């Protein structure tokens, strides 16, 4: 009987220790799960993908412009200047569905992933692995304050008119409101998540004092409802960002959750 009580008490103490030290154990688990490797970078594919030893590496925590998008070449060039034909240290966290290694990249003590965000050549893109979340978000704030590249504020006459009235990411619905007393031509403006999902306004005018709702689905567009025709989810439950950009790619607003 005493032995059984002792076992129960021991289990209770272990549970208490676990609860008190959860963050410590979590960080310890991350430390053991990640893998470090020093490699020579032989190729830069784009602003967030590089190659070493014949395998691809996807930079974690960020998303850079794709080919055809604004700042694609500038981002790729910066990354080439930082790492091409140089030895870097990888902090690896498994692979993605394309079999690319997911990693934070370091050179001379600099976290390259964070550096790209800081310079305005990538936005924060946090999935399940949220290490360096604080540092990445601080880098984005720094970019916004310096008003450069992807963080450059729109000078469109309607940039201060359009406000985000409601953002229901669970039901994937967005409402924008034109608080000005004049109409705003949003043709070519785009809504984007942290990743690659994009909605582009096509010949759309948001009248002064009116609102527009964007819903995921395949219905027929109406005067006050537009449908984001896309397969799968748009916004992640673990956290995401809505970006609204004008027809020149300049930032009108963003909202993170």
Of 66, 133, 146, 223, which one is the catalytic site residue?
66
Contact 20, 29 (CB under 8 A): no
Mark whether 66 is an active-site residue. Answer: yes
- For residue 70, the tally of other CB atoms under 10 A from its CB is 15
Of 100, 152, 194, 245, which one is the catalytic site residue?
100
Q: What is the DSSP string of the chain?
A: -HHHHHHHHHHHHHHHHHHHTHHHHHHHHHHHH-EEEEEE--EEEETTEEEETTEEEEETTEE-PPTTSTTHHHHHHHHHHHHTTSEEEEEEEEE-TT-PEEEEEEETTEEHHHHHHHTTS-EE---S--TTHHHHHHHHHHHHHHT-GGGPBP--TTTTTEEEEEEETTTTEEEEEE-SSS-EE-TT-EEE-SSS-EEE--S-EE-TT-EEEEEESS----SSEEEE--SS-SS-TT--EEEEE-TTS-EEEEEE-
Mark whether 179 is an active-site residue. Answer: no
Q: How many CA atoms lie within 13 A of 126 on its CB side?
A: 19
Mark whether 97 is an active-site residue. Answer: no
Of 37, 58, 74, 172, which one is the catalytic site residue?
58
**Which residues have a catalytic role annotated?**
58, 66, 100
């Amino acid at each position: 009987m005493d032995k059984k009580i002792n076992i129960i008490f021991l289990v209770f103490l272990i549970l208490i220790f676990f609860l008190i030290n959860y963050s410590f154990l979590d960080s310890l688990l991350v430390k053991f799960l990640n893998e470090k490797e020093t490699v020579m970078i032989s190729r830069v594919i784009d602003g967030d993908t590089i190659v070493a030893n014949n395998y691809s590496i996807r930079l974690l925590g960020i998303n850079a412009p794709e080919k055809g998008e604004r700042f694609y070449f500038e981002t790729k060039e910066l990354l080439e200047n930082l790492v091409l034909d140089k030895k870097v240290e990888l902090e690896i966290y498994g692979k993605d569905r394309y079999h690319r290694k997911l990693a934070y990249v370091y050179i001379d003590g600099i976290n390259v992933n964070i550096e790209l965000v800081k310079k305005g050549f990538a936005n924060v893109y946090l999935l399940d692995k949220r290490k360096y979340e604080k540092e990445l978000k601080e880098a984005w704030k720094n970019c916004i304050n310096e008003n450069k590249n992807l963080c450059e504020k729109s000078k469109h006459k309607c940039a201060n008119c359009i406000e985000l009235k409601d953002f229901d990411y669970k039901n994937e619905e967005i409402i924008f409101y034109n608080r000005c007393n004049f109409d705003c031509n949003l043709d070519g403006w785009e809504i984007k998540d942290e990743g690659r999902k994009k909605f582009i306004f096509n010949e759309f005018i948001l009248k002064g004092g009116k609102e527009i709702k964007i819903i995921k689905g395949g219905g027929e567009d109406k005067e006050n409802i537009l449908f984001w025709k896309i397969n799968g989810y748009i916004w992640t439950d673990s956290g995401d960002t809505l970006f609204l950009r004008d027809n020149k790619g300049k930032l009108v607003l963003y909202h993170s959750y």
